[in-house]
Structure formats: structure tokens, C-alpha cells
Amino acid sequence: MSERTLIAQKAESFFEDLWKRGDPWKLETSEFEQAKYDREIAILPGRRYPRALEIGCGAGAFTRHLARVADGILALDISPTAIDRARASGINSVDFRVANIMDYNPRAEGPWDLVVMNETICYLGWLYSFFDVAWLAAELFAATRDEGQLLMANTCGGVEDYLLLPWIIRTYHDLFLNVGYRLKAKEIFRGVKNGVEIEVLISLFTKAADQSS
């Protein structure tokens, strides 16, 4: 069995165990999370997206917000339990699918008008090598339509977790610039969750027509 297969199995087991316990991050019930989702939608430029790819959708907490601005959504998550819950939510125009983004070819069903990664890049960086994460970034860029966009949000302050160290999160942020995306908007969302003041870096990248690969 290859090392990559072992990593994939570890990832599925880890997230499946969390989702079987309920809503591990209180994405459905937290006022902080819902306010963060509203800010993510607000940072978008007020356009509609014919086709969106959401990576790490969980049980669809953000997908419901995304459905307000996207006509069709492919939402991926590695946890079968999370996807079962997402499908049961009855969100229209969404194809919820069990998949590991590191084994999925985004070009195969692209190009995408919008790619979304919510609190996902930090876990990919934990599980996979930096080369693998960089390769994914390049593949997502190639699979994004000209003038398409990438929306990424990740906690980067207030939480004592080595996966969320600000300088690590900003390194991932810069990685997407290095593969060709241009930064359209960026902000720090601040709020309180479980009595802790948290900062989330929200970034909107765009693929200019003259940046096509």
C-alpha cells in the first residue's frame, strides 16, 4: 500500500470520526460561524457564478450560503457521514459527493467560475507534503475559468493550534498568488466563539484572462 493511500485513509478516518460525533465545529449553531459565512458572501463582487466547486463542504453549512450566488455547485468532502447529512439538507442545485480533493482532478469537470476552500487548507497542509499542496493550488488555478475566482477562509489567530499559526496560514495564502491568482480582496474577520476571540483571514483571488496557463 502506497504512502499516499495510507494518508488518504488516515484523513477519511479522522474526519469521519469527528462527523459521527455530531457537528464537531458547531458550524450550524455558532453565531460566529454564520456571521463569518455572511462576510464571505459579502466579499464576493455581487455576481452570479454558473459553476462553483466547494472543497471540504462538511454537512453543507456554507453551501446553503453559496447557493444564493451559484447556479450549480459541486461540493466535496472526504467524510461519508458529512455528505449524507449534506444531502439530507435538501439544498437545490448541489451535487454533494464523497471525495478527497487530493485524488480529485478539478480540470476534469471544470472550468469553474468559483472555487471555495473554507477552513480546509490547514488540514491539507497537515496531512500532505508542501509539494502536494502546491500542486493542488496549481491544478485549481488551471481549472478556474478566466475571470473566475477562488474564495478562501481560514482561522489564523486566537486558537492555540499549531495548524492555525498565522505565518503558516499566510504562507498558504501566498502560495495561491505564486501559482498565478491575483488578490482581489482580503480582510480579517474577528469575532468570539466559545468565549475565545478569533481571527479569520478571508481572501478572494481572481484569475485574470492574461494569466491563463
DSSP state of 46: S
- The CATH classification number of 3-211 equals 3.40.50.150
Tens digits of residue pLDDT in 171-212 = 999 999 999 999 999 999 999 998 999 999 999 999 998 754
Would you list the domain boundaries of the chain? 3-211
Q: What pLDDT, on a 0 to 100 scale, did the predictor assign at position 213?
A: 45
Yes or no: say if 19 and 85 are a contact pair by the CB < 8 Å rule: yes
CA distances from 106 to 17, 29, 53, 127, 155 (A): 26, 31, 8, 19, 25
> 86-101: per-residue pLDDT in tens?
999 888 889 999 999 9
Q: How far is CA 184 from the centre of its chain?
A: 17
pTM here is 0.93
